[in-house]
Amino acid sequence: MKVAVGATEYVLPGPGETSEVLKAQNPDWRMDDIEKKTGVLKRHVAAPGITAVDLAEEATRKLLDSDRLDQEPGFLILVTQSPDYVLPTSACVLQDRLKLPRTCMAFDVNLGCSGFVYALAIAGGLIETGVASPGLVVCAETYSHYIGEGDRTTRPLFSDAASATWVEASDLDTLGPFVMGSDGAGCENLIVYGSGARGLGDGQSNGLHMDGSQVFMFTMDMVPKCVEALLDKADLTSADVDQYVFHQASKLVIDNIVRRLDLEEGQVFRNYEQIGNTVSASIPIALTDAIDGGRIRQDDTVMLVGFGVGYSWGGCLLRGGFSV
């Protein structure tokens, strides 16, 4: 049995928050300089009381109501680092809201920017081994609830969003191979203190904390290695990949990845300008926009690469079978 990535839908909450809003609330911010680094001109922020599960429900209903699925899902994998509760698992809450069959296994994956790639690997394994019939990979984040109004490091960058992707059996071998890894030594460089069982330490405060320079150095070290390892595993060259869909971290990050790997700009898809960094949802959203915008053709070879919080990274190939 082989596996393919099928239809994807996504949602972005609200009309979007522009740089003018940030400047009005923080007059000392030099928004021109911030925009040059992030490349983000608009972020999407969930209203108070709207959670990742709420967005996940909206995105998944959009997919289920699209008449592009011909069976009920055998699994529901929810990738989120902003769950409604520590327990129960948010995937079970979502399964009940959607009234999916009780035979549908549901569980969370607590990963951020690499989470979609990890979830594809898990979904592929479930289908190929016959443990489950085709199902759903849902990514949903509301990082804005962790971010303070005056946080210049994270507020101009992160957006809330959700995506829902159908993963199914196929006659074609379109998914894989995969390369994944982690380095927990960098865990405190992107972290929400006080969000779990461990209390606050000296000098720590609640909310999202990011050491941008450390995360950037990790990215510049590991992402090129991940790409090269995946090309080697697939016996391909960088030119054999028609489109690279990286986690939409920021303009600065993707500019430097392109430079380090000596890629052609036309090979690299970007959509962060009007969407921002949507964490686990960024790759499925970018993949959807690339297909809808004609950047990915039916038989293209596409590389997906996620990286960030954890530290964690993962890459995989999608080879053809796109519905364009």
Look at residues 290, 314, 313, 285 and name the one whose alpha carbon lies nearest to residue 302. Answer: 290
44 is catalytic: no
| Catalytic residue chosen out of the listed positions 113, 139, 226, 316 | 113
104 is catalytic: no
DSSP code, position 82: S
Angle of the 251-261 helix axis to the 31-38 helix axis, nearest 10: 40
Tell me if the bond preceding 88 is cis, omega within 30° of 0.
yes
Instruction: Kindly state the tokens that stand for 214.
Output: 């450390």
Give the whole-angstrom CA distance, residue 168 versus residue 69.
10
Contacts of 246 (CB under 8 A, 6+ apart): 223, 254, 257, 268, 269, 283, 286, 305, 306, 307
277 is catalytic: yes
**Distances in Å between the alpha carbon of 141 and those of 182, 203, 321?**
21, 27, 28
Instruction: Kindly state the tokens that stand for 251.
Output: 């303009």
The number of beta carbons lying within 10 Å of the beta carbon of residue 294 is: 8
In DSSP terms, 136 is beta-bridged to 76, 166
In DSSP terms, 5 is beta-bridged to 167
Instruction: Kindly state the tokens that stand for 308.
Output: 């960030």
The number of beta carbons lying within 10 Å of the beta carbon of residue 272 is: 27
| Catalytic residue chosen out of the listed positions 139, 226, 277, 316 | 277
| Catalytic residue chosen out of the listed positions 226, 247, 271, 316 | 247
Q: Which residues are catalytic?
A: 113, 247, 277
